[in-house]
Amino acid sequence: MRQLLLLRHAKSAWDDPKLPDHARPLNDRGRRAAAAMHKAINALDLRPDLILVSSARRTIQTLEALEPWPHTPRTERMDALYLASSEQMIQVLNSVPETIGCVMLIGHNPGMHDLALTLGNPARDERTARVRLNEGYPTGALAQFELNKPWWGLLPGVARLTRFLTPSELPDMGQHD
């Protein structure tokens, strides 16, 4: 059984209007959320073999907040994931080697939300997770999928959404964030 972890970057700063979008960093809340998500990922024993991350500064900083890992996953920074559509993300995932059991993809909306909605199958998805995913994909949120297909066979509707976790649910963040 393969696992796919879709993590939207944590909350980013908008303070400097002259800063190009690609260069925007995480803000304080985003750094706290990413650190809280790191604890949750470790507590859930989620261990990606491969992490595919957009080359944008905020996604790289989100990845850095998830370190250290209890193991050493392979990491690939990819320009192709910057503001990628769900179709572009599927193309990237289709090229993952079959030896990889768990992939984490760190990217951006709206592509991330579209991908999560597309991959899952409402008839098989964990019900509460699906309802919450339908409501939106906030910054720092993580969707966990299981699939019985090879990566090259990743198509709409073939995966099962098993968990949807947002930073506001985590003890270190509280409901006010």
Question: What are 85-141's pLDDT values in tens digits?
Answer: 999 999 999 999 999 999 999 999 999 999 999 999 999 999 999 999 999 999 999
Rounded to 10 deg, the angle between the 86-94 and 111-119 helix axes is 60
Residue 17 pLDDT: 86
Tokens at residue 53, please? 């991350």
- Taking the complete model, does pTM exceed 0.85, yes or no? yes
Contact indicator for 103, 52 with CB cutoff of 8 Å: yes
The sheet carrying 142-147 orders its strands as 74-78, 50-54, 102-107, 2-8, 142-147, 160-165
- CATH fold group of domain 3-169: Rossmann fold (3.40.50)
Task: Output Rg (C-alpha) for the chain, integer angstroms.
Answer: 15
Contact indicator for 111, 147 with CB cutoff of 8 Å: no
Q: How far apart are CA 173 and CA 42, in angstroms?
A: 16
Helices (H), the chain: 28-43, 57-65, 86-94, 111-119, 127-135
Question: What are 49-66's pLDDT values in tens digits?
Answer: 999 999 999 999 999 999
